[in-house]
Protein backbone atom coordinates (compact mmCIF):
# COMPACT_ATOMS: atom_id res chain seq x y z
CA UNK A 1 0.00 0.00 0.00
CA UNK A 2 1.37 3.42 -0.91
CA UNK A 3 2.03 6.06 1.72
CA UNK A 4 -0.70 8.26 0.19
CA UNK A 5 -3.29 5.46 0.35
CA UNK A 6 -2.26 4.62 3.91
CA UNK A 7 -2.55 8.27 4.93
CA UNK A 8 -6.03 8.54 3.34
CA UNK A 9 -7.18 5.45 5.20
CA UNK A 10 -5.93 6.79 8.53
CA UNK A 11 -7.53 10.19 7.96
CA UNK A 12 -10.93 8.82 6.94
CA UNK A 13 -13.56 9.80 9.50
CA UNK A 14 -15.02 6.72 11.18
CA UNK A 15 -18.69 6.06 10.51
CA UNK A 16 -21.03 6.78 13.38
CA UNK A 17 -24.61 5.65 14.03
CA UNK A 18 -25.43 9.15 15.28
CA UNK A 19 -27.36 10.12 12.09
CA UNK A 20 -29.36 6.90 12.41
CA UNK A 21 -30.12 7.75 16.04
CA UNK A 22 -31.44 11.10 14.90
CA UNK A 23 -33.67 9.44 12.30
CA UNK A 24 -34.92 6.81 14.75
CA UNK A 25 -35.89 9.36 17.40
CA UNK A 26 -37.33 12.01 15.11
CA UNK A 27 -40.75 11.48 16.64
CA UNK A 28 -39.40 12.70 20.00
CA UNK A 29 -39.09 16.17 18.52
CA UNK A 30 -42.42 16.07 16.72
CA UNK A 31 -44.44 14.88 19.69
CA UNK A 32 -42.83 17.44 21.99
CA UNK A 33 -43.61 20.16 19.44
CA UNK A 34 -47.17 18.97 18.76
CA UNK A 35 -48.00 18.61 22.45
CA UNK A 36 -46.74 22.11 23.19
CA UNK A 37 -49.01 23.42 20.42
CA UNK A 38 -51.97 21.46 21.83
CA UNK A 39 -51.28 23.03 25.24
CA UNK A 40 -51.23 26.50 23.62
CA UNK A 41 -47.85 26.98 25.26
CA UNK A 42 -46.62 29.53 22.75
CA UNK A 43 -49.90 31.46 22.77
CA UNK A 44 -49.67 31.63 26.56
CA UNK A 45 -46.25 33.23 26.20
CA UNK A 46 -47.24 35.69 23.45
CA UNK A 47 -46.02 39.24 23.61
CA UNK A 48 -42.81 38.53 25.50
CA UNK A 49 -44.33 36.91 28.56
CA UNK A 50 -41.85 34.87 30.62
CA UNK A 51 -42.75 31.80 32.65
CA UNK A 52 -40.85 29.79 35.23
CA UNK A 53 -41.16 26.06 35.67
CA UNK A 54 -43.20 26.58 38.82
CA UNK A 55 -45.54 29.06 37.12
CA UNK A 56 -46.16 26.79 34.14
CA UNK A 57 -46.75 23.79 36.38
CA UNK A 58 -49.38 25.69 38.35
CA UNK A 59 -50.99 27.07 35.19
CA UNK A 60 -51.29 23.68 33.47
CA UNK A 61 -51.93 21.63 36.57
CA UNK A 62 -48.70 19.68 36.08
CA UNK A 63 -46.18 18.54 38.63
CA UNK A 64 -42.76 20.16 38.58
CA UNK A 65 -40.90 17.42 36.69
CA UNK A 66 -43.06 17.28 33.52
CA UNK A 67 -43.27 21.08 33.34
CA UNK A 68 -39.50 21.30 33.63
CA UNK A 69 -38.89 18.63 31.00
CA UNK A 70 -41.32 20.25 28.54
CA UNK A 71 -39.72 23.68 28.84
CA UNK A 72 -36.19 22.31 28.50
CA UNK A 73 -37.15 20.24 25.45
CA UNK A 74 -38.87 23.16 23.72
CA UNK A 75 -35.84 25.34 24.37
CA UNK A 76 -33.58 22.67 22.89
CA UNK A 77 -35.70 22.71 19.71
CA UNK A 78 -35.38 26.46 19.30
CA UNK A 79 -39.00 27.12 20.24
CA UNK A 80 -38.27 28.79 23.60
CA UNK A 81 -35.44 30.92 24.91
CA UNK A 82 -34.10 30.73 28.49
CA UNK A 83 -34.21 34.17 30.10
CA UNK A 84 -32.80 34.11 33.62
CA UNK A 85 -34.82 31.56 35.57
CA UNK A 86 -37.73 31.74 33.10
CA UNK A 87 -38.56 30.89 29.49
CA UNK A 88 -40.06 32.97 26.70
CA UNK A 89 -40.99 32.40 23.07
CA UNK A 90 -38.21 32.34 20.52
CA UNK A 91 -38.73 34.70 17.54
CA UNK A 92 -39.79 31.67 15.46
CA UNK A 93 -42.48 30.65 17.94
CA UNK A 94 -43.66 34.24 18.44
CA UNK A 95 -44.10 34.69 14.68
CA UNK A 96 -45.68 31.38 13.71
CA UNK A 97 -47.05 29.57 16.78
CA UNK A 98 -49.24 32.17 18.48
CA UNK A 99 -52.93 31.63 17.77
CA UNK A 100 -54.42 34.52 15.80
CA UNK A 101 -51.20 35.66 14.17
CA UNK A 102 -51.47 36.07 10.36
CA UNK A 103 -48.89 33.35 9.67
CA UNK A 104 -50.02 30.94 12.41
CA UNK A 105 -48.58 27.49 11.62
CA UNK A 106 -50.19 25.55 14.44
CA UNK A 107 -53.02 24.34 12.22
CA UNK A 108 -50.60 22.28 10.20
CA UNK A 109 -48.98 20.87 13.34
CA UNK A 110 -52.35 19.85 14.76
CA UNK A 111 -53.37 18.15 11.50
CA UNK A 112 -50.14 16.15 11.46
CA UNK A 113 -50.74 15.11 15.05
CA UNK A 114 -54.40 14.13 14.74
CA UNK A 115 -54.43 12.68 11.22
CA UNK A 116 -51.13 11.96 9.54
CA UNK A 117 -49.12 10.68 12.50
CA UNK A 118 -51.59 7.84 13.02
CA UNK A 119 -51.71 7.11 9.30
CA UNK A 120 -47.95 6.79 9.10
CA UNK A 121 -48.11 3.97 11.65
CA UNK A 122 -49.70 1.99 8.79
CA UNK A 123 -47.03 2.81 6.22
CA UNK A 124 -46.18 -0.86 5.61
CA UNK A 125 -49.83 -1.48 4.77
CA UNK A 126 -49.78 1.44 2.32
CA UNK A 127 -46.61 0.14 0.69
CA UNK A 128 -47.88 -3.40 0.29
CA UNK A 129 -51.32 -2.38 -0.91
CA UNK A 130 -50.42 0.75 -2.94
CA UNK A 131 -53.41 2.48 -1.43
CA UNK A 132 -54.15 5.19 1.14
CA UNK A 133 -54.66 4.18 4.75
CA UNK A 134 -56.29 7.33 6.14
CA UNK A 135 -59.48 6.77 4.10
CA UNK A 136 -61.09 4.02 2.03
CA UNK A 137 -61.24 4.53 -1.78
CA UNK A 138 -64.08 1.98 -1.88
CA UNK A 139 -66.38 4.23 0.11
CA UNK A 140 -65.39 7.79 -0.86
CA UNK A 141 -64.26 9.54 -4.01
CA UNK A 142 -61.09 11.16 -2.73
CA UNK A 143 -59.28 12.35 0.38
CA UNK A 144 -61.07 15.71 -0.11
CA UNK A 145 -64.63 14.29 0.06
CA UNK A 146 -67.02 15.86 2.56
CA UNK A 147 -67.17 12.79 4.81
CA UNK A 148 -65.69 13.91 8.14
CA UNK A 149 -66.42 17.65 8.59
CA UNK A 150 -64.28 17.95 11.72
CA UNK A 151 -61.23 16.40 10.08
CA UNK A 152 -61.78 18.38 6.89
CA UNK A 153 -61.86 21.62 8.85
CA UNK A 154 -58.63 20.60 10.56
CA UNK A 155 -57.12 19.75 7.16
CA UNK A 156 -57.97 23.11 5.61
CA UNK A 157 -56.75 24.98 8.65
CA UNK A 158 -53.48 23.07 8.21
CA UNK A 159 -53.31 23.97 4.53
CA UNK A 160 -54.12 27.60 5.33
CA UNK A 161 -51.26 27.70 7.82
CA UNK A 162 -48.87 26.26 5.25
CA UNK A 163 -50.14 28.23 2.28
CA UNK A 164 -50.08 31.72 3.78
CA UNK A 165 -46.30 31.70 4.17
CA UNK A 166 -45.74 29.90 0.86
CA UNK A 167 -47.92 32.45 -0.94
CA UNK A 168 -45.84 35.29 0.51
CA UNK A 169 -42.72 33.64 -0.91
CA UNK A 170 -44.38 33.30 -4.32
CA UNK A 171 -45.28 37.00 -4.28
CA UNK A 172 -41.60 37.76 -3.68
CA UNK A 173 -40.32 35.81 -6.70
CA UNK A 174 -43.05 36.26 -9.32
CA UNK A 175 -44.29 39.65 -10.46
CA UNK A 176 -48.08 39.73 -10.88
CA UNK A 177 -48.10 43.37 -11.99
CA UNK A 178 -48.85 42.47 -15.60
CA UNK A 179 -51.71 40.14 -14.73
CA UNK A 180 -55.30 41.02 -13.91
CA UNK A 181 -57.28 37.82 -13.17
CA UNK A 182 -56.05 34.84 -11.19
CA UNK A 183 -57.70 31.42 -11.10
CA UNK A 184 -56.58 29.36 -8.11
CA UNK A 185 -57.47 25.78 -9.10
CA UNK A 186 -58.00 23.56 -6.08
CA UNK A 187 -57.48 26.75 -4.11
CA UNK A 188 -58.66 25.38 -0.77
CA UNK A 189 -58.93 28.04 1.91
CA UNK A 190 -58.05 30.88 -0.45
CA UNK A 191 -54.72 31.61 1.24
CA UNK A 192 -52.85 32.33 -2.00
CA UNK A 193 -55.39 34.85 -3.38
CA UNK A 194 -55.64 36.51 0.03
CA UNK A 195 -51.88 37.08 0.14
CA UNK A 196 -51.53 37.95 -3.55
CA UNK A 197 -54.47 40.36 -3.71
CA UNK A 198 -53.14 42.19 -0.66
CA UNK A 199 -49.71 42.46 -2.29
CA UNK A 200 -51.16 43.40 -5.70
CA UNK A 201 -54.34 45.44 -5.08
CA UNK A 202 -55.22 45.53 -8.79
CA UNK A 203 -55.45 41.72 -8.94
CA UNK A 204 -58.81 39.95 -8.94
CA UNK A 205 -58.99 36.23 -8.16
CA UNK A 206 -61.30 33.22 -8.17
CA UNK A 207 -60.92 30.19 -5.92
CA UNK A 208 -62.12 27.10 -7.81
CA UNK A 209 -62.78 24.08 -5.60
CA UNK A 210 -65.42 21.66 -4.36
CA UNK A 211 -68.61 23.24 -2.90
CA UNK A 212 -67.86 22.43 0.75
CA UNK A 213 -64.30 23.76 0.36
CA UNK A 214 -65.55 26.98 -1.22
CA UNK A 215 -67.68 27.58 1.86
CA UNK A 216 -64.57 27.39 4.04
CA UNK A 217 -62.68 29.65 1.62
CA UNK A 218 -65.47 32.22 1.69
CA UNK A 219 -65.17 32.48 5.47
CA UNK A 220 -61.42 33.16 5.18
CA UNK A 221 -61.96 35.69 2.38
CA UNK A 222 -64.64 37.54 4.33
CA UNK A 223 -62.47 37.58 7.46
CA UNK A 224 -59.67 39.12 5.39
CA UNK A 225 -62.02 41.82 4.07
CA UNK A 226 -61.35 40.83 0.46
CA UNK A 227 -64.84 39.84 -0.67
CA UNK A 228 -64.76 42.32 -3.54
CA UNK A 229 -61.41 41.12 -4.85
CA UNK A 230 -61.78 37.34 -4.46
CA UNK A 231 -64.67 35.17 -5.58
CA UNK A 232 -65.30 31.46 -5.12
CA UNK A 233 -66.66 29.14 -7.78
CA UNK A 234 -67.69 25.57 -7.05
CA UNK A 235 -66.62 22.75 -9.32
CA UNK A 236 -64.48 19.66 -9.76
CA UNK A 237 -61.39 20.26 -11.87
CA UNK A 238 -61.31 16.57 -12.78
CA UNK A 239 -64.64 16.94 -14.60
CA UNK A 240 -63.29 18.79 -17.63
CA UNK A 241 -63.14 22.46 -18.46
CA UNK A 242 -62.13 25.21 -16.04
CA UNK A 243 -63.59 28.73 -15.77
CA UNK A 244 -62.23 30.97 -18.53
CA UNK A 245 -61.21 34.62 -18.83
CA UNK A 246 -58.18 34.37 -16.51
CA UNK A 247 -54.66 35.37 -17.52
CA UNK A 248 -52.88 33.47 -14.73
CA UNK A 249 -53.73 30.05 -13.31
CA UNK A 250 -52.20 28.76 -10.09
CA UNK A 251 -51.84 25.11 -9.08
CA UNK A 252 -50.37 24.98 -5.59
CA UNK A 253 -49.63 21.49 -4.28
CA UNK A 254 -52.34 20.10 -6.54
CA UNK A 255 -50.39 17.91 -8.95
CA UNK A 256 -48.85 15.81 -6.19
CA UNK A 257 -52.33 14.70 -5.08
CA UNK A 258 -53.02 12.87 -8.35
CA UNK A 259 -51.59 10.40 -10.84
CA UNK A 260 -49.91 11.39 -14.10
CA UNK A 261 -53.02 10.90 -16.25
CA UNK A 262 -55.14 13.17 -14.05
CA UNK A 263 -52.38 15.80 -13.99
CA UNK A 264 -51.97 15.76 -17.77
CA UNK A 265 -55.72 16.23 -18.21
CA UNK A 266 -55.69 19.10 -15.72
CA UNK A 267 -52.82 20.89 -17.48
CA UNK A 268 -54.61 20.52 -20.81
CA UNK A 269 -57.70 22.08 -19.20
CA UNK A 270 -55.53 24.93 -17.90
CA UNK A 271 -54.25 25.58 -21.42
CA UNK A 272 -57.79 25.72 -22.81
CA UNK A 273 -58.98 28.04 -20.04
CA UNK A 274 -56.13 30.57 -20.12
CA UNK A 275 -56.44 33.69 -22.23
CA UNK A 276 -53.76 34.07 -24.96
CA UNK A 277 -50.57 35.34 -23.38
CA UNK A 278 -51.56 33.85 -20.05
CA UNK A 279 -49.31 31.95 -17.66
CA UNK A 280 -49.69 28.89 -15.46
CA UNK A 281 -47.80 28.64 -12.16
CA UNK A 282 -47.23 25.25 -10.55
CA UNK A 283 -45.98 25.52 -6.97
CA UNK A 284 -44.69 22.24 -5.54
CA UNK A 285 -42.04 20.45 -3.52
CA UNK A 286 -40.13 19.31 -6.61
CA UNK A 287 -37.89 16.26 -6.79
CA UNK A 288 -34.43 16.74 -8.24
CA UNK A 289 -33.53 15.38 -11.67
CA UNK A 290 -31.75 12.33 -10.20
CA UNK A 291 -34.78 11.46 -8.01
CA UNK A 292 -32.62 11.32 -4.89
CA UNK A 293 -34.28 14.15 -2.97
CA UNK A 294 -34.50 16.69 -1.55
CA UNK A 295 -35.92 15.02 1.58
CA UNK A 296 -38.88 17.39 1.90
CA UNK A 297 -40.12 16.44 -1.58
CA UNK A 298 -39.28 12.74 -1.34
CA UNK A 299 -40.93 12.33 2.05
CA UNK A 300 -43.97 14.29 0.95
CA UNK A 301 -44.21 11.70 -1.80
CA UNK A 302 -44.36 9.03 0.89
CA UNK A 303 -47.12 11.04 2.55
CA UNK A 304 -49.03 10.95 -0.73
CA UNK A 305 -48.85 7.16 -0.55
CA UNK A 306 -50.43 7.28 2.91
CA UNK A 307 -53.03 9.92 2.02
CA UNK A 308 -53.94 9.59 -1.69
CA UNK A 309 -54.95 6.94 -4.21
CA UNK A 310 -52.43 7.89 -6.89
CA UNK A 311 -50.45 10.95 -5.86
CA UNK A 312 -46.68 11.37 -5.69
CA UNK A 313 -44.18 14.19 -5.91
CA UNK A 314 -42.72 14.90 -9.31
CA UNK A 315 -39.61 16.54 -10.73
CA UNK A 316 -39.64 19.83 -12.63
CA UNK A 317 -38.59 17.89 -15.73
CA UNK A 318 -41.64 15.64 -15.54
CA UNK A 319 -44.03 18.54 -15.08
CA UNK A 320 -42.35 20.51 -17.85
CA UNK A 321 -42.80 17.61 -20.28
CA UNK A 322 -46.52 17.47 -19.46
CA UNK A 323 -46.84 21.24 -19.94
CA UNK A 324 -45.18 21.12 -23.34
CA UNK A 325 -47.41 18.20 -24.29
CA UNK A 326 -50.42 20.35 -23.39
CA UNK A 327 -49.31 23.17 -25.69
CA UNK A 328 -47.49 25.45 -23.25
CA UNK A 329 -44.25 27.19 -24.20
CA UNK A 330 -41.40 29.15 -22.62
CA UNK A 331 -41.24 26.98 -19.51
CA UNK A 332 -38.82 27.69 -16.70
CA UNK A 333 -38.44 27.05 -12.97
CA UNK A 334 -38.15 29.65 -10.22
CA UNK A 335 -36.63 28.47 -6.96
CA UNK A 336 -38.74 28.99 -3.86
CA UNK A 337 -37.60 28.82 -0.25
CA UNK A 338 -40.90 28.08 1.46
CA UNK A 339 -42.37 25.56 3.86
CA UNK A 340 -44.83 24.30 1.25
CA UNK A 341 -42.79 24.47 -1.96
CA UNK A 342 -39.23 24.64 -3.22
CA UNK A 343 -40.00 25.73 -6.76
CA UNK A 344 -42.52 27.14 -9.19
CA UNK A 345 -42.76 25.78 -12.72
CA UNK A 346 -43.83 28.61 -15.03
CA UNK A 347 -45.25 28.12 -18.53
CA UNK A 348 -46.92 30.43 -21.06
CA UNK A 349 -49.77 30.13 -23.53
CA UNK A 350 -49.16 31.98 -26.79
Give the predicted TM-score (pTM) of the model: 0.91
Q: Is 256 a catalytic residue?
A: yes
In the chain, where are the structural domains located?
A: 3-96, 166-348
Q: Is the pLDDT of residue 177 over 80?
A: yes
Work out the angle at residue 226's Cα, subtended by the Cα atoms of residues 248 and 250, and round it to the nearest 5 degrees: 20
255-309: pLDDT as tens digits? 999 999 999 999 999 999 999 999 999 999 999 999 999 999 999 999 999 999 9
pLDDT at 3: 58
Fold of 3-96: Arc Repressor Mutant, subunit A (1.10.10)
Q: How far apart are alpha carbons 14 and 10 in whole angstroms?
A: 9
Q: Tell me whether the CATH fold assigned to 3-96 matches the one assigned to 166-348.
A: no
Rounded percentage of the chain residues whose pLDDT exceeds 70: 97
- Among 256, 271, 348, 350, the active-site one is 256
pLDDT at 150: 80
Instruction: Report the helix count and the strand count for the chain, using DSSP H and E.
Output: 16, 9
Per-residue pLDDT band at 4 (split at 50, 70, 90): low
Return the closest-CA partner of residue 179 out of 247, 273, 274: 247
Q: How far apart are alpha carbons 134 and 153 in whole angstroms?
A: 16
Per-residue pLDDT band at 5 (split at 50, 70, 90): low
65-118: pLDDT as tens digits? 999 999 999 999 999 999 999 999 999 999 999 999 888 999 899 999 999 999
Count of CB atoms situated within 10 Å of the CB of 91: 9
295-319: pLDDT as tens digits? 999 999 999 999 999 999 999 999 9
Q: Is the pLDDT of residue 344 over 80?
A: yes
What top-level class would CATH report for the domain 166-348? alpha beta
Q: Is the pLDDT of residue 6 over 60?
A: no
Amino acid sequence: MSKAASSNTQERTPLSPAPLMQLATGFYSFETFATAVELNLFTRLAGGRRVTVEELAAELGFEHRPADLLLVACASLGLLVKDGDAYRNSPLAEEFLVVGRPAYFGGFVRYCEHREYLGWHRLMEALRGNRPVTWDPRTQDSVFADVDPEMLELFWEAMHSLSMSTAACLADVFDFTGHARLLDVGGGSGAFPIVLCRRYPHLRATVYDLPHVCRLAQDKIDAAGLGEAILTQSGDFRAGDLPGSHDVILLSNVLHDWDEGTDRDLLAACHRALTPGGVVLISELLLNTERTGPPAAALMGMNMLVETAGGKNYSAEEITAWLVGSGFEDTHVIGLDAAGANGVVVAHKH
